[in-house]
Copies of this chain bind each other. A is one copy, B any other.
């Protein structure tokens, strides 16, 4: 069978007719499926249902803290200890906060704008740019866009962003930030390697340049190869840039999405500065939820065990997507994707100029996809080719229908070119 680019005109016409027929059948199936967001499935949430009856007792922590009362800006020590071990940082480099690490990132960008970092002038009134490895996470980009920070896309490869590009751009003192999802990047699945990470913390940059190291999927391995987190704080300190990196993590995709705990790890100076601002905003995070989580996990190994249970549910979904795309698209040479080693997404590159059309076709057939371009600043995918697939939420039969439908749409859009 020839690939699409090898086809004769007649073959191509035939291919298009078949694609149209398949799409007509898809529309008749009356699907109502959703691949838009990286939401855990209900069966994954069930793994943590014990949390719903914790902490019990009187809410007193191991260190005697009455978690029911005010106070404790740093978060509960026993939970911080577990995640410090998991993230490979010191306990005093990590604080536990409320339910959304996205909120921490947002508030730290706002901190830069209103107060500045490390004694440098506030960003307000300055031209400020953030480097955005692409494809990337739409909610990172939404923070920048909403706050009027100019986003500069840089190419993300399998081991991190293009360093030549990043180094050149970071020499501009108006570049104040870089968004990174270092482990299993959303949506490409890229894993920042040690050399790239070292270069990012060593390169010359503004003194208030900050890497927003969103390690959202640090423990979310899809294979038995459980990559340990890199010691990015240690590398930054060794490079003489101890305050460059802000590490974010959360239990949103470990326990409950929206009812978990978020973490911020950084230098003592950065944490002290952050806390000086957050103390004006709140008397402290929800420590009962910290205690509930600490009791549920028990220790770091408890988290690892739970993540393997998630993997057991997620890996077959990712395998199914790969199987369908391989069977449907590979023979005609349409589409590119990698089977990620972790995280929540598959990044499908369709032929240039067809991503918007694919999303449109899928929508008309009852399959909701993230809008084309969502993984790019200002929603502008220059080649209109990236589609983010989030296979976690549906169960296997629905996922199969959705990806088969998606493949049908990809083939039709390709045939229309």
Contact = CB atoms under 8 A, between A and B. Distances in A.
B52 A59 contact: yes
Interface stretch (A42-50, A206-214, A216-224, A263-271): A42-50
Contacts of A378: none
A358 interface: no
Interface in A101-133: 102-103, 106-107, 110, 113-114, 124-125
Contacts of A52: 54-59, 288
Q: Number of contact residues on A: which range applies? A: 35 or more
Interface in A31-80: 37, 39-40, 42, 45-46, 48-49, 52-59, 66-72
Given A99-B282, A110-B110, A256-B288, 19 more contacts: A40-B69, A42-B66, A42-B68, A45-B68, A52-B54, A52-B58, A67-B256, A67-B259, A68-B256, A69-B257, A98-B98, A99-B286, A100-B282, A103-B281, A106-B280, A258-B283, A259-B286, A259-B289, A286-B289
A142 interface: yes
Contact of A259 (B42, B139, B287): B287
Nearest to A125: B125
A358 B354 CA distance: 75
A107 B72 CA distance: 20
Q: Is the interface of A mostly helix, strand, loop or mixed?
A: loop
A327 interface: no
B258 A114 contact: no
14 contacts: A42-B68, A45-B58, A45-B68, A49-B57, A52-B58, A69-B256, A71-B258, A100-B283, A103-B282, A106-B280, A143-B280, A257-B283, A259-B286, A259-B288
A89 to B, nearest CB: 24
Nearest to A280: B146
A106 to B, nearest CB: 4
Contact of A289 (B57, B59, B289): B289
A288 B282 CA distance: 20
Contacts of A288: 52, 256, 258-259
- A46, A52, A57, A67 — most chain B CB neighbours (10 Å): A52
Nearest to A41: B69
Contact of A257 (B39, B70, B281): B70
A383 interface: no
Contacts of A146: 277, 280
A284 interface: yes
Contacts of A135: none
A98 B258 CA distance: 10
Most B CB contacts (10 A, CB to CB) among A37, A102, A146 go to A146
B58 A56 contact: no
A285 interface: yes
Given A103-B282, A282-B102, A258 B110 contact: no
A340 B125 CA distance: 47
A142 B259 contact: no
Given A39-B70, A52-B58, A56-B53, A286 B286 contact: yes
A337 to B, nearest CB: 25
